Chains A and B, each alone.
Chain A
Amino acid sequence: METLERILGEHPFFQNLDEPYLQLVTGCASNVRFEPDACIFREGEEANQFYLIRQGRVALQILAPDRGPITVETLEEGDILGWSWLIPPYNWHFDARALELTRAIALDAKCLRRKCEEDHNLGYELLKRFGHIMEQRLSSTRLQLLDMYGVRS
């Protein structure tokens, strides 16, 4: 049977994390499932989780007046969803919606924040890993903003 600890340990995000820390993180983890079109979180709500997507696809959206929800990015199997739990005031900046049946592991961020405060080595490990994801997402966003495929005027 697949245990949460094994699944987390094999995920690239947690690779090479010390065993005691992995156990600690596993203590904050649970399996979740979202039906197609289900709202995972909404802009402005408290960010008390982050997710490792195991299956399915999730749209990060922002609501614009007269335009409805605009998808700014999609995430899928293997991706990490959510980092607002790391940065005060811990509120989501976007909506997240499942585009199809999505299975994920939810990490309880309140529990993790408390453990990170108690053990700064754990906090530093997680920050390094999130820093890497943030750097990737920032680079991608910059490329999107460049409008590379647009006609040069």
Chain B
Amino acid sequence: MASVPDIFVKPAPVAPHAMFPRMYVIQQVRKETADTFTLVLEDRSGGPKIKFAPGQFNMVYVFGVGEIPISISSDPASSVLVHTTRAVGTVTRVMAGLRRGDAVGIRGPFGTVWPVHEAHGHDIVIVAGGIGLAPLRSALYEVLSQREAFGKVVLLYGTRTPSDILFREELEQWRARFDLEVYVTVDRAQPGWRGNVGVVTTLIHKLPFDPQKTTAMICGPEIMMRFAALELQKRGVGPDSIYLSLERNMKCGIGLCGHCQFGPYFVCKDGPVFRYSRVKDLLVKREI
């Protein structure tokens, strides 16, 4: 079976700003949903532009409050840095109150990347759940920038309710493309919703892709990722061709502090993007 060579997921290069935050200024704050927002950031440090690859994350520092890991959701071709997150903890709640012109500190980028280049010639299946669409947004932009290099490209997106749908405008633009299939489903419908209702995994068995030549990228709640991987395997996609992005308690970003240890791995350094075959047994281990 054709699968991506094992050299992937390769270790991330050491971030040039691993230990010392660079100053970024907020260009725009976008409210995506009731509890989710996007920061568009501009580098004001004066140093060389930081390059990232889809799948990587930054440690974002709200001065005087704390630092948290957030996946990068920018279009890799864009000159600005974009982070989308949910206001759920101390740092993100303060972050949600920041305004244009405020500054944050950025360390990174850290971690492994989605296998976009390695998947050339394959069909691409992207399965996103909830806020998990944010880390996959960069990957999708990269795929679309090299669209002719892939077979079918399918985006599956599941959320809790229609009000929780992220990146609505972009979803509409993506849906209008002839070279991209987009399916959106919600767990709970609201009045007026005429789209799909049901968990995102139920759509996988109907998707148009060649399982022998498919690379799947999944990001969302861990339960959803496990079930999505199972459904993909039922369709014949090998565990070596399925990738998922894990989230743990990342602190240092370079595998030193040990907070994000996941079995033999440090998620900040060996992940967050893992080949499913490497972690599938760990995902169901209670002792980790």
Contact = CB atoms under 8 A, between A and B. Distances in A.
Contacts of A140: 198-199, 201-202
A74 B197 contact: yes
A68 interface: yes
B175 to A, nearest CB: 15
B189 A71 contact: yes
B155 to A, nearest CB: 17
Nearest to B196: A74
A146 interface: yes
A15 interface: no
A70 B129 contact: no
B206 interface: yes
A147 B86 CA distance: 16
Contacts, number: 65
Interface residues of A, number: 24
Interface string B79-91: 0000000101000
Contact of B227 (A76, A78, A143): A143
Contacts of A20: none
A30 interface: no
A99 interface: yes
A95 to B, nearest CB: 13
Query: Which of B158, B187, B220 neighbours the largest number of chain A CB atoms within 10 Å of its CB?
Result: B187
Interface in B119-177: 129-131, 158-160, 164
A147 B199 CA distance: 10
Interface of A: 57, 59, 67-68, 70-74, 76-78, 99, 136, 139-140, 143-144, 146-151
28 contacts: A67-B191, A68-B191, A72-B197, A73-B198, A74-B197, A74-B198, A76-B196, A99-B194, A136-B202, A139-B227, A140-B201, A140-B202, A143-B199, A143-B201, A143-B224, A143-B227, A146-B223, A148-B130, A148-B187, A148-B221, A148-B223, A149-B129, A149-B130, A149-B158, A149-B221, A151-B35, A151-B86, A151-B88
Given A71-B189, A143-B227, A148-B129, 10 more contacts: A59-B189, A72-B189, A74-B195, A74-B197, A77-B206, A143-B199, A143-B224, A147-B187, A148-B130, A149-B164
